[in-house]
């Protein structure tokens, strides 16, 4: 069948810029065919849009749409029945253009047919993609076949023999959901004296979108007596952390013992999965005429119909978030827990996944449970709304907005917190959506296609991740804290409208906002005055500073000697060094601009008559070139010996030694390398009346730099006086690895 194209005036790009739709002309019964029509519209110009139309294994393509090729693809998604017939094409779309396709499918088995049409662009797929699900029920004949799929109580069945279900998040300690809002047992049968109670045992399970069998915790289990009139509710319980249950109740039926069946209900006191206010529930087969004192082994149950599996998977993803969240309720200050209801259906196609603050409801698209990040991100909005007592921040998010793009400080906080929340729950540093994955943690300064600062939700999420996790990345992330204390307690105690406000409140709460935490923020391009500390002879290796984002440090002189801070750029790069007197970088003290491939340094004289010991603030700026540089601080505390050896390699930039002599004394200093790779440079710094107490390389009183690798450098200097004074001998390792012999005569 044919593919057609149409172009209309481009619409405004709102929550997404690509829109898919699909429709069956009829519901085929077993062996019959039906026409499938689908279309994809783009609001913007896009190249290389991939369009897939997946037909589950209970049907097959009888006519592939023109312009598409089809093949069978194995699938673990339960509603795909082990495979899909995937029709595929790739096309360019202009703004306002719609491409339309028609094909035909034949029903080869009975069941729920969920045909998925997906369009994904390679650029910004979180915005430039869409998935639409068209549903039909295939019956054995026309009477039992119909468009759509009716939501009735689902049946249950045993999971396959020999299969072991596992928890989806075994690293989280199981928590028990609140029992509030559960139905109370009721019966119209009078109590029977001395009737021994009956117990039902078993477990509740599901098969996730990867085909793995999982246990489902905190699902409501109800035991019912199947009566001729209204059924009696005998008892209610929750499945435990491993999905298991043991539910005991009186056997009061006078007709020969209760006829017991179980219902598994997707709703507890804190969350539920439903559609149109009806929580999903599943009914077992009935065990008739149960005798007193019996234990009824219902075994490992699961939904019979695969279309329900995503409902249980979403429920379990929310349960994982409940396990992680450090309180019985979403808000630790609540006495009556708020329940967040998730509206989902296998053929529900709202424009986007979203949370509605006014009703405490989340609406999920049909395939959202395949992406746990989506489900728990939306829950994160609900948790924030609950903790903030329904005073949800005015996010002012632009439409569209991106995880890696600038969206404004308020939007970045209200979206970045849920991004972090889902990552923390699943111990996963990625956000996985429909057609895209975004790395949240291993991105820093200079990352392509990423904006910088606290107006970017992905930067906010990454900062929260780096504050808490033990997976520390270069170059500034070295922080590991308990997320349940500093982060979560600040979140609970204050209402924040931006990440900057959250950070101020964190400090007000008495939590650490010093250099360590600031470094984790800086790793994620959020700079709240970070000045990286440099200790005595500590070397830092850092990437090239960006053009408009210098690297800033703090050094502390503590002794009455000369001290030196130095940077060594790559041979093909030029980075300059500045030194300030204040952390706000308003009082410039000195600048070193040695040029490409040269070591820049600034020396500070804290001897008597020099600069008092204290804090100083170096800044490294970019001039040209790329590549890592090394910065080192030599907090001088040693006098020059007649001869001393120094092992210096890639991580060693500078050595400083004081030499104190009377006025008029002439001395010669020699630096001799022990191999041909070493390139020494030698300087004498003086702060006599004609020279400053804080001086750059260019302001050295004497120097020797030109002999090159493997050659000695030598400086002769006569102390100018007028009295005893201390001078700094500065040895720079421009290149190479080995031992220098530094001597004075």
DSSP 287-316: B-SPPTT-EEEEEEEEESSGGGHHHHHHHH
| Rounded average pLDDT over 93-97 | 95
Q: Measure Cα distances from 467 to 183, 288, 506, 519, 654 in Å.
A: 43, 57, 12, 9, 33
Residue 55's beta-bridge partner residues?
85
Q: Which three-class secondary structure state does DSSP give residue 342?
A: strand
Distance CA 557, CA 478 (A): 24
CB 419 within 8 A of CB 440: yes
By C-alpha distance, which of 341, 198, 357, 158 is closest to 265? 341
| pLDDT tens-place string over residues 217-250 | 999 999 999 988 788 899 999 999 999 999 999 8
Fold of 3-147: Immunoglobulin-like (2.60.40)
CB 202 within 8 A of CB 244: yes
| Rounded average pLDDT over 411-422 | 98
CB 81 within 8 A of CB 109: yes
The H-or-E segment that residue 503 falls in is: helix 499-508
pLDDT of residue 1: 42
Distance CA 94, CA 42 (A): 7
| pLDDT tens-place string over residues 396-409 | 898 778 899 999 99
The H-or-E segment that residue 53 falls in is: strand 46-56
Residue 731's beta-bridge partner residues?
655, 682
What burial class does residue 185 get, using C-beta atoms within 10 Å of its C-beta: 0-12 exposed, 13-18 middle, 19+ buried?
A: middle
First-to-last alpha carbon distance for the chain, in angstroms, is 95
By C-alpha distance, which of 82, 22, 13, 96 is closest to 52? 22
Torsion angle, alpha carbons of 35, 36, 40, 41, to 10:
60
The H-or-E segment that residue 235 falls in is: strand 232-238
User: Does the pLDDT at position 179 exceed 70?
Assistant: no
Task: Map tokens 């609540």 to a residue.
Answer: 334
Instruction: Give 251's pLDDT tier (boundaries 50, 70, 90).
Output: confident
pLDDT of residue 721: 72
Task: List the domain boundaries for the chain.
Answer: 3-147, 154-317, 319-512, 532-744
HSE at residue 556, side-chain half, CA atoms within 13 A, is: 5
By C-alpha distance, which of 554, 532, 740, 741 is closest to 635? 554
| pLDDT tens-place string over residues 532-544 | 999 999 999 999 9
Q: If you average pLDDT over every residue of the chain, what do you get?
A: 93
| Rounded average pLDDT over 251-270 | 85
By C-alpha distance, which of 439, 437, 418, 433 is closest to 131? 433
- Domain 532-744 bears CATH identifier 2.30.42.10: no
The H-or-E segment that residue 488 falls in is: helix 488-493
Could you please report the per-residue DSSP string of 587-608? Answer: SEEEEE---TTPPEEEEEE-ST
User: Does the pLDDT at position 43 exceed 60?
Assistant: yes
CB 565 within 8 A of CB 618: yes
pLDDT of residue 10: 42
Distance CA 116, CA 486 (A): 44
Tokens (6 digits) for 24: 């069956």
Distance CA 363, CA 349 (A): 10
Quote the percentage of the chain above a pLDDT of 70: 95
DSSP-derived secondary structure letter, 128: S
Task: Map tokens 């340094």 to a residue.
Answer: 601
Distance CA 42, CA 23 (A): 19
pLDDT of residue 11: 47
pLDDT of residue 256: 66
Q: Which residues contact 526 (CB under 8 A, 6 or more apart)?
A: 453, 454, 459, 460, 463, 499
pLDDT of residue 3: 47
737 against 178, higher pLDDT: 737
| pLDDT tens-place string over residues 590-611 | 999 999 999 999 999 999 888 9
Distance CA 578, CA 592 (A): 6
Distance CA 732, CA 423 (A): 46
pLDDT of residue 191: 62
CATH pick for 154-317 out of 2.60.40.3330, 3.10.350.10, 3.40.50.300, 1.10.3720.10: 2.60.40.3330
Tokens (6 digits) for 535: 């200790």
Instruction: Give 291's pLDDT tier (boundaries 50, 70, 90).
Output: confident
User: Does the pLDDT at position 307 exceed 80?
Assistant: yes
Q: Which three-class secondary structure state does DSSP give residue 463?
A: helix
- Beta-strand pair 600-605/562-568: antiparallel
By C-alpha distance, which of 353, 354, 373, 484 is closest to 422? 373
| pLDDT tens-place string over residues 119-140 | 999 988 888 999 999 999 999 9
What burial class does residue 618 get, using C-beta atoms within 10 Å of its C-beta: 0-12 exposed, 13-18 middle, 19+ buried?
A: buried
Q: Measure Cα distances from 155 to 76, 342, 643 in Å.
A: 21, 21, 89
Q: Measure Cα distances from 649 to 657, 677, 711 in Å.
A: 18, 10, 16
By C-alpha distance, which of 646, 639, 632 is closest to 728? 639
| Rounded average pLDDT over 167-191 | 76
Q: Which residues contact 524 (CB under 8 A, 6 or more apart)?
A: 443, 444, 459, 460, 462, 463, 466
Distance CA 354, CA 343 (A): 10
CB 99 within 8 A of CB 4: yes
pLDDT of residue 9: 41
Q: Which three-class secondary structure state does DSSP give residue 111?
A: strand
Could you please report the per-residue DSSP string of 524-554? Answer: TT--SS--EE--TT-EEEEPPPBTTB-EEEE
Tokens (6 digits) for 609: 């008559």
Tokens (6 digits) for 347: 């053929």
pLDDT of residue 373: 98
Task: Map tokens 């312009």 to a residue.
Answer: 67
Residue 467's beta-bridge partner residues?
none
| Rounded average pLDDT over 102-115 | 96
Distance CA 109, CA 724 (A): 101
pLDDT of residue 182: 62
Burial string for 193-230 (b: 16+ CB within 10 Å, else e) reads eebeebbbebbbbbbbbeeebbbbbbbbbbbbbeeeee
Helix runs in 36-97, H state only: none
By C-alpha distance, which of 317, 270, 387 is closest to 172? 317
pLDDT of residue 561: 95
**Helices 409-426 & 309-324 angle (0-180, nearest 10):** 100
Whether the ω angle into residue 722 lies within 30 degrees of 0, i.e. cis, is yes
| Rounded average pLDDT over 26-44 | 96
User: Which of 191-205, 419-433, 670-684 shows the lowest per-residue confidence on average (mean pLDDT)?
Assistant: 191-205
Question: Does this chain's domain 3-147 share its CATH topology with 154-317?
Answer: yes
CB 124 within 8 A of CB 58: no
Q: Which three-class secondary structure state does DSSP give residue 353?
A: coil
């Amino acid at each position: 069948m044919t593919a057609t194209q149409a172009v209309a005036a481009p619409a405004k790009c709102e929550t997404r810029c690509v829109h898919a739709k699909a429709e069956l002309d009829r519901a085929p019964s077993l062996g019959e065919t039906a026409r499938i029509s689908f279309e994809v519209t783009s609001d913007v110009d896009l190249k290389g849009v991939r369009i897939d139309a997946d037909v589950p294994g209970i049907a097959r393509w009888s006519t592939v749409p023109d312009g598409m090729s089809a093949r069978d693809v194995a699938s673990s998604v339960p509603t795909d029945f082990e495979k899909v017939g995937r029709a595929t094409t790739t096309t360019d779309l202009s703004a306002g253009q719609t491409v339309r396709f028609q094909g035909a499918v034949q029903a080869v088995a009975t069941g729920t047919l969920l045909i998925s049409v997906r369009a994904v662009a390679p650029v910004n797929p979180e915005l430039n993609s869409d998935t639409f699900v068209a549903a039909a029920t295939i019956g054995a004949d026309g009477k039992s076949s119909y468009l759509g799929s009716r939501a009735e109580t689902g049946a249950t069945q045993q999971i396959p023999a020999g299969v072991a279900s596992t928890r989806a998040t075994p690293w989280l300690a199981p928590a028990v959901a609140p029992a509030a809002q559960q139905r109370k047992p009721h019966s119209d049968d009078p109590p029977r004296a001395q009737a021994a109670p009956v117990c039902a045992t078993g477990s509740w399970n599901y098969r996730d979108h990867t085909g793995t069998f999982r246990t489902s915790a905190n699902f409501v289990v109800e035991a019912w007596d199947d009566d001729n009139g209204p059924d009696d509710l005998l008892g209610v319980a929750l499945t435990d952390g491993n999905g298991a249950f043991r539910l005991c109740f009186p056997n009061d039926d006078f007709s020969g013992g209760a006829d017991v069946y179980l219902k598994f209900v997707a709703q507890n006191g804190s969350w539920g999965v439903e559609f149109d206010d009806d929580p999903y529930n599943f009914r077992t087969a009935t065990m008739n005429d149960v005798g007193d004192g019996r234990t009824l082994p219902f075994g490992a149950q699961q939904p019979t119909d695969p279309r329900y599996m995503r409902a249980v998977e979403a429920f379990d993803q929310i349960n994982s978030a409940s396990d992680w969240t450090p309180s019985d309720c979403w808000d630790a200050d609540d006495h009556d827990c708020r329940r967040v209801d998730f509206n989902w259906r296998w053929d529900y196609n709202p424009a986007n996944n979203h949370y509605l603050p006014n009703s405490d409801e989340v609406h999920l698209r049909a395939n959202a449970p395949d992406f746990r990040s989506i489900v728990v991100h939306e829950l994160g909005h609900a948790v924030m709304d609950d903790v903030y007592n329904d005073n949800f921040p005015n996010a002012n998010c632009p439409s569209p907005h991106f995880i890696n793009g600038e969206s404004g400080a308020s939007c970045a906080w209200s979206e970045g917190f849920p991004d972090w929340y889902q990552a923390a729950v699943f111990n996963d540093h990625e956000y996985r959506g429909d057609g895209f994955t975004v790395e949240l943690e291993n991105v820093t300064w200079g990352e392509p296609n990423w904006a910088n600062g606290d107006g970017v939700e992905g930067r906010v999420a990454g900062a929260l991740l780096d504050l808490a996790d033990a997976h520390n990345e270069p170059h500034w992330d070295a922080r590991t804290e308990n997320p349940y204390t500093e982060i979560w307690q600040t979140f609970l105690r204050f209402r924040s409208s931006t990440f900057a406000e959250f950070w101020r409140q964190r400090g007000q709460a008495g939590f650490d906002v010093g250099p360590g935490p600031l470094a984790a923020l800086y790793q994620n391009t959020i700079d709240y005055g970070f000045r990286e500390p440099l200790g005595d002879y500590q070397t830092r290796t850092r990437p090239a500073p960006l053009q408009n984002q210098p690297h800033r440090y703090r050094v502390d002189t503590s002794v009455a000697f000369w001290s030196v801070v130095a940077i060594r750029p790559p041979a093909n790069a030029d980075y300059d060094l500045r030194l300030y007197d204040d952390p706000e970088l308003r009082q410039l003290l000195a600048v070193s601009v040695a040029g490409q491939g040269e070591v820049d340094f600034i020396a500070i004289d804290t001897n008597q008559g020099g600069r008092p010991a204290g804090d100083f603030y170096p800044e490294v700026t970019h001039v040209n070139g790329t590549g890592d540089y090394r910065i080192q601080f030599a907090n001088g505390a040693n006098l020059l010996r007649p001869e001393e050896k120094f092992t210096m390699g890639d991580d060693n930039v500078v050595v400083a030694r004081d030499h104190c002599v009377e006025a008029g004394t002439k001395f010669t200093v020699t630096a001799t390398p022990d191999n041909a790779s070493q390139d020494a440079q030698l300087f004498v710094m003086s702060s006599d009346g004609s020279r400053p107490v804080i001086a750059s390389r260019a302001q050295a009183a004497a120097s020797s730099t030109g002999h090159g690798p493997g050659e000695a450098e030598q400086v002769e200097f006569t102390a100018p006086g007028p009295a005893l004074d201390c001078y700094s001998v500065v040895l720079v390792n421009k290149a190479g690895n080995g031992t220098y012999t530094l001597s004075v005569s």
